[in-house]
Amino acid sequence: MGPAWVIGHSFGAAISLRLAGVRPGLMRGLIVHEPPLFSLVADDSDFFPMLEATQKN
C-alpha cells in the first residue's frame, strides 16, 4: 500500500500536521481545516484574551 491522502479537522488537523512532520513519507497529500495552533500566538499579548477564553471552555 502506498502513501495516503490525510484529511483532518480541528484537533484532527493538528494531529495530521504532527504526523506530516514526523512521518512525511506516509502521505501523498495533506488537507487540514481549522487546526488549533495556539502555540503560534502564545507570546503575542494581543491574543491573550482569546486564549484565556478558549482555555475556560
Of the CA atoms within 13 Å of residue 19, those in its CB half-sphere come to 20
Question: So what's the pLDDT on residue 30?
Answer: 96
Q: What is the pTM of this model?
A: 0.65
In this predicted model, what pLDDT tens digit does every residue of 3-57 receive, in sequence order? 999 999 998 998 999 999 999 999 999 999 988 877 777 788 887 887 777 776 5
pLDDT of the residue at 36:
82
pLDDT at 1: 77
Domain ranges of the chain: 4-56
Instruction: Identify the pLDDT of residue 47.
Output: 77
- Upper half-sphere CA count for residue 10 (Cβ side, 13 Å): 0
